[in-house]
Amino acid sequence: MSKSVIAVIGGTGDLGGGLAYRWAKAGYPIVIGSRTEEKALAARDTLRMRLPEAQVEGAENAGAAERADIIAVSVPFSHQHSTLEVLKPVVQGKIVIDTTVCLQPPKVGRVQLPPEGSAGLIAQEVLGSDVRVVSAFQNIAAAHLDSDHEIDCDVLVTGDDKEAREVVIDLAADAGLKAWSAGPLANSAAVEGLTSILITLNRIYKIPGSGIVVTGKPGV
Ligand SMILES: NC(=O)c1ccc[n+]([C@@H]2O[C@H](COP(=O)([O-])OP(=O)(O)OC[C@H]3O[C@@H](n4cnc5c(N)ncnc54)[C@H](OP(=O)(O)O)[C@@H]3O)[C@@H](O)[C@H]2O)c1
């Protein structure tokens, strides 16, 4: 069966670039999205040089999302809303993976959730109920994804559509990450908040990208 085409909006940046790298390496056709086609094509060329066998394209954000089955959005919180507005017409009926954390510089080590509850809930609100929004990858440092080493960090996946959560859990596995179905999208507030705690741990203990691991084994 052919693999889903994934658009990575903000695939020119740190986290998006890392996700694009891991998924391209796993054989997914990738479309890197950017506000400018020129930047998207430059990121495409870089990824093609790293992974000559990979199927990678680049396009301006809406064009990238239009060509994809699944869309991962990886932009700073301050630009999440405007980016989602651009994507809204072309992502209806699709799965959108929102990676946003409501970080409000300069106090990024302090949990500062938005009045709406979380960035994930904002994504659902902006995109509408016909889009299956799944929130994930908030607790993984970009540098780990943009590498070939094994990643000692789990992913908590939240979203109101169970099947869509499972799709993202499989995508995380293909990126080399153990992921867990962590309940409804409202739970993304806790996952996003955790990121500020990890940033604080990185600072205090000089950890180059701390993460979380769920202990305990699933029962049968
Ligand atoms: N970095 C991490 O380790 C990490 C870890 C977990 C979660 N996250 C979350 O993932 C998201 C992306 O983080 P990041 O560190 O990858 O961000 P980033 O590298 O600073 O930016 C990602 C992309 O966002 C786009 N962007 C920048 N300014 C913009 C604007 N004014 N309007 C619209 N788009 C703009 C840019 O793409 P174009 O210029 O090509 O359009 C940029 O390449 C954030 O919400 C962050 O909290 C990051």
pLDDT in tens, 42-78: 999 999 999 999 999 999 999 999 999 999 999 999 9
Cβ 135 under 6 angstroms from ligand 1: no
Q: What pLDDT score does 140 carry?
A: 97
- The sign of the torsion formed by the CA atoms of 180, 82, 111, 201 equals positive
By alpha-carbon position, which residue is closest to atom 24 of ligand 1?
A: 75
Q: How many domains does the chain have?
A: 1
The neighbouring-strand residues paired with 155 are 179
Ligand 1 contact via 101 beta carbon (within 6 Å): yes
Cβ(28)–Cβ(3) below 8 Å:
yes
Any domain includes 212: no
- Model confidence over 199-208: pLDDT tens digits? 999 999 999 9
Q: Is 218 domain-assigned? A: no
CA 51–ligand 1 middle distance (angstroms): 22
- Above 90 in pLDDT, residue 84? yes
pTM score: 0.98
Q: Is 89 in the pocket of ligand 1 (CB under 6 A)?
A: no
Nearest to 85 by CA among 7, 96, 150: 96
Read off φ and ψ for residue 129, nearest 5 degrees: -75, -10
* CA dist., res. 139 & res. 192, Å (int): 8
Is 217 among the domain residues? no
Judge whether 53 lies within some domain: yes
Residue 73 lies in a domain: yes
Residue 220, in any domain of the structure: no
Nearest CA to ligand 1 atom 45: 100
pLDDT in tens, 108-152: 999 999 999 999 999 999 999 999 999 999 999 999 999 999 999
Residue 1 lies in a domain: no
220 pLDDT exceeds 90?
Answer: no
96 inside domain: yes
Return the CATH number at 30.
3.40.50.720
- Whether the per-residue pLDDT at 1 is higher than 90: the answer is no
Range of the domain at 19: 6-205
**Apex CA 158: angle with CA 130 and CA 103, to 5°?**
100
What percent of the chain shows pLDDT beyond 90? 98
